[in-house]
Structure 1
Amino acid sequence: MNLETRTPAAEPLGVLETAALLRELTAGLIAVDDFDTALSALVRITRDALAGVAWCGFTALRSGEPAGVAASEARLGVLDDLRYGPDSPAMEAIRRREMVGAADLDGEPRWPDWTPQARELGVRGVISAPVDIDDQVIGAVNLYAAEPEALTPGHQLTAMLLAEHAGLLLAAVRDRERRAALTAQQDRALLDDGVIGQAVGVIMTQRGCPAPDALDVLRGAAASLSIPLREVAERLVSTVSRPRDN
């Protein structure tokens, strides 16, 4: 890091600001079950919450390959996207497993391909902090400044805390995403089942609701009656199929 040129007294960030950021991140991501949506929320909330940070980005790798990118401003997304080259602060942070950055990119000798592009886009300072998510996905959160020396050791400390907290939140998002995908797979299998699919069709017709909602109604009935889902479906189909007396 090249951020040690500022004295602590000049640092704009404090404990309350950092705590507010982490609290807002938790509130924004606690119920999200889509990883890309979570990344978009993370970079937006971080950008808005931190004084001196003009933009925020996130770089993600899954099993060593580019797996996602998010940018608080779309035009800067190229700076976080490893498909355009591994020469970047984000990749260095991920590779070294430690924070890297520069308070002033003017004359910065590292990242010779990335730095000119960053400066052309208006970036004058950067901090990239590695984020451990789970055994498959790792990443880096990237803070960008529009003015040289705007990023201080206070931002460095905040970035460390942000990376740790974001890793936990994103791991939970990934877990919810996996569970949601498994539930959807199970639902598709149930809907393909003859009698359950028929029962769902009956409920959809009766209530005018989509298949997932109809399946939830069927599950609710099975739970309240304490009988298997298939038996509830068979009873319903049998009832509607029974000829009515004239």
Structure 2
Amino acid sequence: MNLDTCHPMTEDLGVLETAALLRELTAGLIAVTGFDEALDRLVRIARAAVPGVDCCGFTALRAGEPAGVAASDAHRAELDDLRHGPDTPALSAIRRREMTIAGALATETRWPAWCARARALGVHGVVSAPVDVDDQVIGAINLYAESPGALTPSHQLTAMLLAEHAGLLLAAVRDRERVAARAGQLDGALLVEGVLGQAVGVIMTQRGCPAPEALDVLRSAASSLDIPLREVAERLVRTVSRPRDN
């Protein structure tokens, strides 16, 4: 359906408001390290900032399989969840690599089962825009309206800008996840490696703390003394191994 024939909104998202939305989105996602948390923030920010949109969702695929769902309104999350059926506007947008628009679901003939669920949940219009994250993850951001004809060409532009910006931010989040995972693997290797493992065990015993916290104590000491981590561990182990005077 062409949204040019829909009734105009009383308030569209202008240039300044769009810029503010993208800034808020950047601020909200810039330091997030978890992909699911990033999706949750994305849909909540979009829902709050875009006039005429009553809820927002995100559908994610990893290696072609459903990999995540986020919804600003939990009771409508099934509209973004491909486990309820693959025939959805989001999947159409992802497969065709172009925006999918339906301004009046009462007369929409695509995705009949999905449209019935959407109308039952009070949704009567949708814009879905594909989001390229990285070579493993793709998705779609979905803007929903409760009133038929509420979505305008302005929403198409907003959805397109959101998709482009969100793709960059989500890719950065995925990169941070990978870095954190590699750091976790390195920590695990350090914890079992020779003198470092012994030093961590000493600190765990002395402080009654878990291994990652003990490793952080060693790192902090190495940074403060400006000496290698292994040398700090060796000094600690030598100290506790030294025979005590009677």
| TM-score, reference length from structure 2 | 0.93
Q: Secondary structure at the match of 2:244?
A: coil
Q: C-alpha offsets along residues 85-120 of structure 1, whole Å, 9 cap, x if unaligned?
A: 221100000001010111111111111121111111
Other-structure match for 2:135: 135
Other-structure match for 1:219: 219
Contact 1:8 1:154 in 2 (8 A): no
Other-structure match for 2:235: 235
Other-structure match for 2:110: 110
Measured after TM superposition, the shift of residue 196 of structure 1 is 1.1
Contact 1:56 1:72 in 2 (8 A): yes
Supply the AA of the counterpart residue of 2:27: A
Give the distance between the partners of 1:241 and 1:36, measured in 2 at CA: 46
Supply the AA of the counterpart residue of 1:168: L
Supply the AA of the counterpart residue of 1:88: T
Q: How does 1:69-84 map to 2 (within 5 A)?
A: 69-84=69-84
Contact 2:47 2:54 in 1 (8 A): yes
Q: Secondary structure at the match of 2:107?
A: coil
Bigger drift between 85-94 and 219-228 goes to: 219-228
Q: C-alpha offsets along residues 149-204 of structure 1, whole Å, 9 cap, x if unaligned?
A: 11111111011000000000000000000111111111111112232122123334
Supply the AA of the counterpart residue of 2:112: P
Other-structure match for 1:123: 123
Other-structure match for 1:191: 191
Bigger drift between 149-158 and 227-236 goes to: 227-236
Q: What is the aligned residue count?
A: 246
Q: How does 1:53-92 map to 2 (within 5 A)?
A: 53-92=53-92
Measured after TM superposition, the shift of residue 214 of structure 1 is 2.4
Measured after TM superposition, the shift of residue 225 of structure 1 is 4.7
Give the distance between the partners of 1:8 and 1:105, measured in 2 at CA: 17
Contact 2:6 2:151 in 1 (8 A): no
Q: Secondary structure at the match of 2:4?
A: coil
Give the distance between the partners of 2:6 and 2:107, measured in 1 at CA: 19
Q: Secondary structure at the match of 2:105?
A: coil
| TM-score, reference length from structure 1 | 0.93
Other-structure match for 2:48: 48
Supply the AA of the counterpart residue of 1:216: D
Give the distance between the partners of 1:244 and 1:89, measured in 2 at CA: 74
Supply the AA of the counterpart residue of 1:18: T
Contact 2:105 2:148 in 1 (8 A): yes
Q: Percent identity?
A: 75
Contact 2:199 2:236 in 1 (8 A): yes
Give the distance between the partners of 2:16 and 2:207, measured in 1 at CA: 50
Give the distance between the partners of 1:177 and 1:12, measured in 2 at CA: 36
Q: Secondary structure at the match of 1:123?
A: coil
- Aligned: 1:99 with 2:70: no
Give the distance between the partners of 2:216 and 2:18, measured in 1 at CA: 41
Measured after TM superposition, the shift of residue 232 of structure 1 is 2.1
Contact 2:11 2:51 in 1 (8 A): no
Give the distance between the partners of 1:204 and 1:5, measured in 2 at CA: 68
Q: Secondary structure at the match of 1:175?
A: helix
Give the distance between the partners of 1:49 and 1:206, measured in 2 at CA: 51
Q: Secondary structure at the match of 1:232?
A: helix
